[in-house]
Amino acid sequence: MPPLSNLATRDVETLVHPYINLASFRETGPLIIERAQGVHVYDTQGKGYIEGMAGLWCTALGYGNEELVEAAATQMRKLSFAHLFTGRSHDPAIELGEKLKEIAPVPISKVFFCNSGSEANDTQIKLVWYLNNARGLPRKKKIVSRIKAYHGVTIAAASLTGLVGNHRDFDLPLPGFLHAGCPHHYRFAHDGESEEEFASRLADELDALIVKEGPETVAAFIAEPVMGAGGVIVPPRTYFQKINAVCAKHDVFVISDEVICGFGRLGTMFGCEKLGFRPQSISVAKALSSAYLPIAAVMIPELMYEALLAESKKIGVFGHGFTYGGHPVSAAVALKTIEIYVRDRIIEKAAKRAPLFQARLMALNQHPLVGEARGLGLIGGVELVADKTGKRSFDPRHGIGARVVRFAEDEGLIARSVAGDILTLCPPLIINAAQIEELFDRLTRALDKALDWVTRERLTQA
Ligand SMILES: Cc1ncc(COP(=O)(O)O)c(C=O)c1O
């Protein structure tokens, strides 16, 4: 391992980084990014990379967008901070709230602003609990999410998340958080089960779970239209229609976590529209501001707003809010971001480039290390396996996914590996056809290097 640079050493001695083995990180050190433009980021040595993950599934309009910079600077000069507590307000929040209502895929009555996806999902849970207290249903409080879901890391959001790494030794999930089956046909279908049969079985299992717990105790179901951090899992075609029916049958409130899928990732403004998923409320973040500044929102239906009204009449206050929720500079940037999505037809254009992205992604299914390449729109997952026919994963100790990510970095591509040696791809929506080709050329070379290494080290053996 080459010695760490001065800046890398200062990093290792100063920061705690999310989502890394903190022990091995002390030797490898960080990849330090210094600047970025368009779909490219550049490290401190001046090496350029295609940002194949749009940062963390978020920089939809890419880097260096002058209109967004200008929107922030103008708002900062005019009003650098104002809050929404105790009846105060400001025009960027009002306008952004109106815009979100206007583009919402389902009827939305009000918008509540937060700063992150985790805060939005935590807020969703608190609002559902409030709702059922207002309805005189104080026992109806359990929340169902799914195995492999990712909804964030605050205590309640991490409880929704269905990944072992987010629970183990954090004493999570909290009681009252249930995890239904994951709609990943490749991994969880029975032998010979069609996608349709699999979707029906998952809906039946959800039904059975709610009945076993008691429908009078189950409040809500939350789902990402396409699971992101769980490994880019696209559900079967009729999955959500069937899940929606089960939720309706048991009076279970339905939430779509659009933190990744919102604003065009799947080729539609909201991911639920693409998948025939009908939520009652929606969480958004990330591409809401193209990640130029942190902002998130909960999009609230009338039924829930009425509950908030009733509770605040009873209690005297709606006791929830974040200092920076709806920050005027973030709101101004988010407004400009949505204006650009619509004005420049960013989402239609992304949808037009999706077939090329998906064709190159699907071609990776031929690679000896790839068990399943899958995706939708401009998001993709590549599951690496030791044995293609038996779908056997590599021993996690070999860190194959992380190794491919490093080979990809050598090739000038930023990708990510999540639990299960699954590579994830989620480039900025502004990526063009030539850049998509280049992204997959670089990834293919990285996979070839990984195959050489795996063969040399005999890592495919059980
Ligand atoms: C679907 C989804 N929900 C929620 C979150 C949490 O968002 P944040 O990291 O902003 O708290 C994420 C983050 O990746 C996400 O992908």
SS3 (DSSP) at 290: coil
Q: Give residue 94 CA to ligand 1 midpoint distance, Å.
A: 24
Q: Give residue 281 CA to ligand 1 midpoint distance, Å.
A: 16
Render pLDDT for 117-144 as a digit per residue (tens, 0 to 9). Answer: 999 999 999 999 999 999 999 999 999 9
Residue pair 280/304 in contact by the 8 Å Cβ criterion:
yes
With 80 as the cut, is the pLDDT of residue 462 above it? no
Render pLDDT for 32-56 as a digit per residue (tens, 0 to 9). Answer: 999 999 999 999 999 999 999 999 9
> Helices then strands (H, E): number in the chain?
16, 15
Q: Give residue 118 CA to ligand 1 midpoint distance, Å.
A: 6
With 80 as the cut, is the pLDDT of residue 1 above it? no
Q: Is the CB of 122 under 6 A from ligand 1?
A: no
- In angstroms, the CA 318 to CA 192 distance is 52
Atom of ligand 1 nearest to the CA of 154: 11
- In angstroms, the CA 64 to CA 36 distance is 7
**Mean pLDDT within 394-399:** 93
pLDDT at site 317:
95
Angle at 88 between CA 85 and CA 89, to 5 degrees: 110
Alpha helix (H) residue ranges in 317-432: 328-343, 346-363, 400-411
- In angstroms, the CA 399 to CA 421 distance is 7
- CB within 8 A of 390, min separation 6: which ones? none
- In angstroms, the CA 304 to CA 132 distance is 9
- Sheet with 379-384, edge to edge strand ranges: 370-376, 379-384, 422-425, 416-418
Q: Is the CB of 258 under 6 A from ligand 1?
A: no
Render pLDDT for 297-350 as a digit per residue (tens, 0 to 9). Answer: 999 999 999 999 999 999 999 999 999 999 999 999 999 999 999 999 999 999
With 80 as the cut, is the pLDDT of residue 26 above it? yes
pLDDT at site 199:
98
Q: What is the mean pLDDT of the chain?
A: 97
Q: Is the CB of 151 under 6 A from ligand 1?
A: yes
Q: Give residue 404 CA to ligand 1 midpoint distance, Å.
A: 24
Residue pair 270/101 in contact by the 8 Å Cβ criterion:
no
- Out of 286, 295, 322, mutate this one to test ligand 1's pocket (max ligand atoms within 8 Å of CB): namely 286
Q: Is the CB of 51 under 6 A from ligand 1?
A: no
- With cut-offs at 50, 70 and 90, classify the pLDDT of residue 294: very high
Q: Is the CB of 382 under 6 A from ligand 1?
A: no
Angle at 65 between CA 259 and CA 104, to 5 degrees: 35
129 membership: H or E segment, kind and range: helix 117-134
pLDDT at site 361:
98
- In angstroms, the CA 216 to CA 230 distance is 30
- In angstroms, the CA 31 to CA 12 distance is 11
- Out of 58, 224, 256, 260, mutate this one to test ligand 1's pocket (max ligand atoms within 8 Å of CB): namely 260
Q: Is the CB of 116 under 6 A from ligand 1?
A: yes
With 90 as the cut, is the pLDDT of residue 460 above it? no
- With cut-offs at 50, 70 and 90, classify the pLDDT of residue 434: very high
